[in-house]
Amino acid sequence: MSEVTENISEQTQTQTQTQDEKATMIEVPLDLLSNLRNIIEVVNSRGFTWKTEELLPVGLIVKQSDDILEKYKKEDEKTPSN
């Protein structure tokens, strides 16, 4: 059991280091990001069984997507309509 925990901890640390090292930025439409996030939600709700090692990466994608979408949603609400 502790071996599994250590493996997940090592994988998390490696992924974090990789993300920090490769912070390449690109522009994508918010609709695309929202659609991809919704696809993950649909797949998850239809009973897809994630492997243990997939849970963290998928969860990170959902969290990062939600954070970005929320940030731009708040900015949209602050911007007055013409």
pLDDT tens, position by position, 44-81: 898 888 899 989 999 999 999 999 999 988 888 887 76
Q: Give the residue ranges of DSSP H helices in the chain.
A: 2-21, 30-45, 52-78
In the chain, how many domains are there? 1
Q: Count CA within 13 A, CB hemisphere, residue 73.
A: 9
List all residues 6 or more positions away from 1 whose beta carbon is below 8 Å from its beta carbon: none
40 within domain boundaries: yes
Q: Could you tell me the residue range of the domain that residue 78 belongs to?
A: 24-82
Residue 61 CB neighbour total at 10 angstroms: 13
49 within domain boundaries: yes
45 within domain boundaries: yes
Over 90: is that where the pLDDT of 6 sits? no
Percent of the chain residues topping a pLDDT of 90 = 41
What is the rounded CA–CA span in Å between residue 45 and residue 55? Answer: 14
